[in-house]
Structure 1
Amino acid sequence: MSSSTSNIQYYDAEVNPPCLCRIPTLAKKRISWTDDNPDRRFWNCRHSMKTRRDCGFFDWLDPELNEHYKLTLLRLRREADGEALAEARNKLASAEALIAKLKLKLGDVKEKATALKMEYEAMSVRAKVLGISFVSVVVMNGVMVMMKYGV
């Protein structure tokens, strides 16, 4: 369903017009957010933003807005962007607080790991000393047995 008024064609929102590519495909509906055409829908070649195969097909779906509506949409977009930015800053602050908390926990874990490592090394030294002592006792007992029996 299309009608034409001063070089602007209006298409039913459900019917994509064909573009002019060598292998005809349906055009893609997009939305402009330029300062001159905020929130204005248009059809263009499906390949226009991907490849060099763009056939150049372009047609506005919506009529041009008057200056008041353009400025209102742009102001609302700036306000929404500002709110989104504030929300993003809040999320960033929360994430940074969580990171700081996790760094403190990591510091505690590192301290505990260092203490455990030192304890392990001390036990390892004690075990070696005990092992040497045990070997010494066994050797001494062996020497005493040999001396007793004159071997």
Structure 2
Amino acid sequence: MASSQSSSSASIGLNATNSAPLCHCSQPTSISISWTDANPGRRFFECEEHGFFEWLDKDMPCLWPKKSLLEAREKIRRQTEEIKALREALCRANAQVAKVHLTRSTAPNVDILKSIEDIVKAQTIHFDQKFLQFVVYSWGGFVVATTVIAYMLKG
């Protein structure tokens, strides 16, 4: 499992509630989730404009949920990079097909075009499979993270 020293967070799209602290500017804060190595899945209030920060989850994550969340985070990052590489490969293949399409008027090029179209179709199918796999793993990670957070809040 690779570790990341950079801090990261994700806003969970909730508006601040009546019990949420106000920023020093007297504006409501939003709730975000930390994805740092030290605090994966831990929620906090923040004001992005002024840097206000206060933990919502007062307790630190336990060892096994922390490890699971970090592993899920790394898997999602790897899959995101794979999808980016696949998209770039697909764009390059589409550019090759476009070049061949310009010279399609001669008979010998029809066979070349057919083989390139077959390659592009195969790459598209492979991309779709990887994308579906990414979605499944992402939801799995989300379910694990949600379960861990719910368990931590219960106990």
TM-score by length of 2: 0.48
TM-score by length of 1: 0.49
Larger radius of gyration: 1
Higher relative contact order (CA 8 A, sep 6+): 2
